[in-house]
């Protein structure tokens, strides 16, 4: 799994370099290229994942909300951060417990294609994140059904622990109208300390996904708003 993760990371870092080299070559052959000074501005974006409320209504036993922010650095690199909170419930006939968690992830996005003009802040991108989620699990009640010796019930003590993961993301973002942005992200996430979830794993970890999986794939659809201002010269 680590070999896969590092391979994807290598792909994530080499594709932007290839795209940049292609853009540089194209800009040297045409007079319509955008001067760098025309796109040297600030942009801060804050967005909400609108899939999360829909998932809350459709999927029984889980609840969560997710937000994202990014800031434009230079050369089509963006600092990116995401966060949120949620909970899940295991409600089997013989096992019941509740988990809740917040999460935070940070990393970067890189736009892969050159801008069409100085006001174009959308595009195709790839990115990398590191995420962490402190998780609280309630006491769990269980029943062991045994027709020979009789049923046995008991309680497992509550527990707090933290999940860590790496994720690789790709997506598209477009500007709908003067700072109003919309876009989707697809994500591959890889839990780095999954052994601690072998016993009573969370049904759902907000920001990650199924707690009993070491690798998951997810999608978000963000509706965002951008604040922009010029750099001082």
Q: How confident is the model at residue 197 (pLDDT cuts 50, 70, 90)?
A: confident
In a domain, 14, yes or no: yes
Number of domains in the chain: 1
pLDDT: is 167 or 230 the higher one? 167
Q: Write down the pTM of the prediction.
A: 0.78
In a domain, 22, yes or no: yes
In a domain, 203, yes or no: yes
In a domain, 226, yes or no: yes
Asked whether 110 and 77 are in contact (CB, 8 A), the reply is yes
| DSSP conformational letter for 38 | G
Give percent above pLDDT 70 in the chain.
81
In a domain, 39, yes or no: no
Predicted confidence (pLDDT) at residue 205 exceeds the cutoff of 90: yes
Range of the domain at 117: 2-30+46-230
In a domain, 189, yes or no: yes
For 4, the token pair is 């896969």
Distance (Å, whole) CA 12 – CA 7: 9
In a domain, 73, yes or no: yes
3-state secondary structure of 145: coil
Kindly report, residue by residue over 17-40, the tens digit of the pLDDT.
Answer: 444 444 444 444 444 444 444 455
């Amino acid at each position: 799994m680590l070999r896969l993760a590092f391979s994807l990371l290598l792909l994530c870092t080499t594709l932007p370099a290839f795209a940049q080299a292609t853009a540089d070559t194209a800009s040297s052959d045409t007079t319509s290229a955008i001067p760098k000074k025309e796109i040297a501005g600030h942009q801060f974006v804050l967005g909400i994942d609108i899939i999360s409320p829909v998932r809350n209504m459709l999927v029984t036993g889980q609840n969560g909300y997710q937000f994202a922010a990014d800031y434009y650095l230079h050369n089509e690199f963006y600092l990116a951060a995401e966060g949120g909170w949620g909970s899940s419930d295991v409600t089997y006939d013989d096992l019941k417990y509740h988990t809740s968690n917040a999460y935070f992830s940070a990393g970067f996005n890189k736009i892969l294609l050159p801008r069409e003009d100085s006001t174009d802040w959308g595009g195709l991108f790839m990115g990398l994140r590191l995420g962490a989620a402190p998780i609280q699990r309630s006491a769990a009640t269980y029943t062991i059904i045994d027709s020979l010796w009789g049923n046995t019930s008991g309680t497992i003590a509550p527990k707090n622990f933290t999940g860590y993961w790496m994720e690789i993301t790709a997506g598209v973002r477009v500007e709908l109208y003067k700072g109003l942005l919309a876009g989707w992200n697809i994500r591959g996430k890889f839990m780095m300390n999954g052994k601690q979830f072998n016993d009573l794993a969370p049904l759902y970890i907000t920001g990650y996904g199924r707690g009993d999986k070491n690798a998951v794939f997810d999608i978000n659809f963000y509706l965002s708003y951008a604040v922009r201002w010029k750099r001082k010269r």
